[in-house]
């Protein structure tokens, strides 16, 4: 059985939500959720939950790459000189433009927004997990990927849009049978934990082939890709 682990990433451990679940029919069942703290890092929670697990898909709510043209454009730039590239092309990834086109939701520009700090934190979390487990934890590019531990990028707001759910952080109602969160204590559950639960559903969408793949895989390997379905129903 594939274990699904969703992480709502943040630079602040106390605002990093984590949820664990598994496939249940055409949806997911959430088994537990938590958030980090100053005395308990998100990585330590994940390592405890996944100890001894052999088949794991991690779904991180954070950009995991930068626009392909950002680095080369800035590397050659001199102060005061113009940039001969459109700002959206410079700061926005193909994945962001595709989510906007398909679901009408503009994700934050990793090249020009504070979300870049979250991306650095997410990549640091991944590296900690690699170091502590000795696993490579590669990016997955399709549901047929059978490597034991792999990771994808997801975006809860896009998943909510796909399911026709209210586009608001922390919302779990409205997914129907696709998301069973009965095990979650809603009175104690933070917005970040709830979003991590939606990340788990996004992982299920990926495994079940509902999430749309990139049209340009080579570009996605550089920039990252947001795995989300087209509108459902």
Contact between 18 and 42 (Cβ < 8 Å): yes
Contact between 212 and 18 (Cβ < 8 Å): no
Contact between 34 and 15 (Cβ < 8 Å): no
Q: Give the chain's domains with CATH numbers.
A: 3-66+114-223 (3.30.420)
Query: Tens digit of pLDDT per residue, the chain (233 long)?
Result: 899 999 999 999 999 999 999 999 999 999 999 999 999 999 999 999 999 988 999 999 999 999 998 888 888 888 988 888 888 888 999 999 999 999 999 999 998 888 999 999 999 999 999 999 999 999 999 999 989 999 999 999 999 999 999 999 999 999 999 999 999 988 888 999 999 999 999 999 999 999 999 999 999 999 999 999 999 87
pTM for the complete prediction?
0.96
Say how far apart CA 5 and CA 151 lie, in whole Å: 9
What b-and-e string marks burial along 58-93, b requiring 16 or more CB atoms within 10 Å of the CB?
Answer: bbbbbbbbbbbbbeebeeeeeeeeeeeeeeebbbbb
């Amino acid at each position: 059985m594939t274990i699904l682990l969703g992480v709502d990433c943040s630079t602040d451990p106390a605002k990093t939500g984590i949820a664990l679940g598994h496939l249940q029919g055409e949806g997911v069942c959430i088994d537990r959720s938590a958030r980090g703290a100053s005395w308990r890092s998100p990585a330590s929670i994940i390592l405890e939950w996944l100890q001894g697990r052999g088949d794991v898909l991690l779904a991180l709510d954070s950009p995991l790459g930068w626009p392909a043209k950002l680095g080369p454009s800035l590397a050659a730039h001199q102060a005061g000189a113009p940039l001969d590239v459109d700002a959206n092309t410079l700061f926005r990834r193909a994945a962001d433009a595709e989510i906007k086109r398909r679901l009408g939701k503009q994700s934050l520009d990793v090249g020009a927004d504070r979300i870049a700090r979250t991306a650095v934190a997410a990549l640091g979390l991944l590296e900690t997990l690699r170091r502590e487990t000795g696993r490579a934890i590669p990016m997955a590019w399709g549901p047929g990927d059978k490597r034991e531990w792999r990771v994808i990028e997801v975006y809860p707001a896009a998943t909510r849009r796909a399911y026709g759910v209210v586009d608001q952080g922390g919302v779990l109602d409205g997914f129907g049978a696709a998301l069973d969160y009965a095990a979650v204590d809603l009175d104690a559950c933070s917005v970040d934990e709830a979003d991590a639960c939606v990340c788990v559903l996004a992982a299920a969408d990926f495994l079940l082939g509902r999430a749309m793949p990139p049209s340009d895989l080579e570009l996605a390997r550089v920039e990252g890709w947001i795995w989300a379905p087209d509108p459902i129903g």
